Structure formats: C-alpha cells, structure tokens
Amino acid sequence: MHKKMLTSYEETSTMDSIATERRSLRKAIGADDNIIIRDFANAQYYGEVTIGTPGESFKVIFDTGSSNLWVPQVGCKHCGIPFIASKTKYDQSQSSTYVANGTDFEIVYGSGSVTGTMAADTVTLAPDLAVQNQLFAMVNDAGGMGIAYLLGKFDGILGLGFDSISVDGAPTVIGNAVGQGLLDQPVFSFYMGDNQDGELTIGGYDSSKIKGNLTYVPLMKATYWEIKLDAISAGSASFKDETSAIVDSGTSLIAGPTLLVQQLAESIGAKKNMMGQYTIDCSVIPSIPDIVFTINGKDYPLTGNEIVIQSQNICLFAFMGIDIPMPDPKWILGDVFMRRYYTVFDYGQKQIGFAEVV
C-alpha cells in the first residue's frame, strides 16, 4: 500500500492538531500539571517524577542549572544508606518501555560528579504528561557527590537547562515535552516554598502565586538560564559593573565572586568563620540593609530576613564566594532569590519572568 508522505506544513499542522487534542483532553479531565516541590529546611527542594512502565517514582531536584536527567540504578555504589537514607533505584528489567543505549555518562556539579550509562524510557512529569523515549542516565556510582548526596532527601536530578549544555547532547526532558506537543505553552514556573511546600508548574504559570504583573528579561544565551545583571548594592557597597547571572533552582544560596561576596558581607556586618562561611549577630537582622539586584533596569531587593539563614542561635549570610572562569556567568541566583521572586522560565521565547510572590 502506498503511504502518503506529509509535507512539512501538513506534518506541522497534524502535530499541532494532536497537541491541541491532548491539551483539551487534559483540561477536560482536570489533570494537574503542578508538581509539588518539597522543602527540606530551605536547603533542598525536590519533587517526584516517574520513570518506566509501570512507572516507578523518584524524588528529583528540578535543576535549572544543568540539563541532564539521572537517577541511581540497582547496584549503584555510594547511593544512600539502607534504613537511614535509602534511595529509590531504577531497575530496567521491570520496565516494558526501557530501551538500552550503553553510552558512558559522567556529569560534574559544583558538589562533585556521578557516573553511569545512558538509557531511554518514559518519563512522566504529571498526569497525561508522559515524555516518550527520554534519554537519561542510570547512575552506578555517586561517590563524587559525597555526604551531601548520600544523606540527601533526593534520588536524582532532572536538569531544566538547554540542550546546548547537556552531556553528550542528550535532548532535555522539557525540550522533548515541547517537541512531543505535551505542553500548553513552552514554559515552566517555580514557586519556592519558605519552610513549606512549593510548586513547579509545567506548561504555564500560577497567577495566584504572584503580586502584580510579571516582568520579563531576555536571556543572554540559551545555555544556562543566563541574564544580564546591571548592578548589586547593599548599604554603602555598590557594584555597578555590568555582569551576568544564572537563575538556578539547584543552588541553595546566592553565589558570586569571592572578593565581591566578602565586601557585601562586610557591608552588612557579617564576619567569616573557620569554615569560610559568613555569620552575623542574629539580633541585628532587622537593621540589615536590603541587598538589591538590578536586572534589566528594575530593582529586586532582598531584606535582611531573606539573606540570612537562621539555625538555632547561629545566623549565616546566605551568600557564598565562588570564582567562575570566564566566559561563564559570575553570579548564581539560587533558591534564596527564588523564594522572594516567582520565576517563569520561558523556553519558547528564551526569556525569564519575575514577580514578587504573594
């Protein structure tokens, strides 16, 4: 039988039609595209996805600072401690949609590295939002990440950056979700809880979580979610040399060049301890001047309460020094910033939207 080949226009129209039907069905059945983001001590934020058929649930950090998905596999070394801090491990023999790949995998984070092999399977983000044939890594050794992972609340990491920084060029989960017509819009959005649950909205944003309107900022390039940073100020300290920053849901604090972070810390009265962290007298928090990030001409202040992490009687300045080589971005706006500002990551228009949380 002759099979008609679609022209590119017909193919696009057909895919659009299928995507529209999927979206209509999802709305009709009331499917929820919000993922609950659990908050552990304002230090770890994680949610659940399922991998395979039948789906097995994994706790993952949804990380806008990287682009690969990985979870530990059965037999993984340095992957949790039984009965104390166990990890869910992927077993390919239990999934009917598993596809072998075998390519070696290694990714290096600021906290260390993990290694394993690539595979493909169905990754489900939310009801009726199943990404087919998604490449991911089955990690067999997570020892490089040390105790932070060993005792962490999460099993793996789901990167939400762009394909351009993905290890081995593996297509990203969000990129595939867009390509497979699964999303209402090529957008995802974070509401970071402050010692409470937050949410990740896939395919749009939750207007009930914001004050006023979103302000959009264009990306400098589609690698990390990198934007231009006009200036930073706090009290008498002011840095007006134009630089750049990435908005990174996978980093707990705000990071910047060591010398500038030191000057910011000193400007608010924080002092470095033996561990290299900056502490401040808890009693002076109400008098700490705002630290203000100026982005695309608009000021985004953080108050003293928002830039200090208090644990019992110790108050830590929520900034850390890190010297990133050129040409990479100099600042990382992590969860400390995102707790104050609802963040929309617009994959289609290559821009980020900010609004103050309610």
Q: Which residues are known catalytic residues?
A: 63, 248
Phi, psi of 76 (to 5 degrees): -60, 135
In whole angstroms, what is the distance from residue 229 CA to residue 231 CA? 6
In whole angstroms, what is the distance from residue 251 CA to residue 208 CA? 25
| Contact predicate 62/189, CB 8 Å | no
| Contact predicate 335/249, CB 8 Å | yes
In whole angstroms, what is the distance from residue 351 CA to residue 222 CA? 9
| Contact predicate 64/158, CB 8 Å | no
In whole angstroms, what is the distance from residue 31 CA to residue 265 CA? 46
Length of the chain: 358
| Contact predicate 134/120, CB 8 Å | yes
55, HSE (Cβ side, Cα atoms, 13 Å): 18
For residue 125, which of 65, 47, 21, 18 has the smallest C-alpha distance?
47
* CA 31 to centroid of chain Cα atoms: 23
What Å distances lie between residue 313 and 148, 280, 310, CA to CA?
Answer: 23, 10, 7
| Contact predicate 273/337, CB 8 Å | no
Here the tokens at position 285 are 């928090």
What stretches of the chain show up as alpha helix (H) in DSSP?
A: 8-28, 146-150, 173-179, 258-267, 335-340
In whole angstroms, what is the distance from residue 19 CA to residue 23 CA? 6
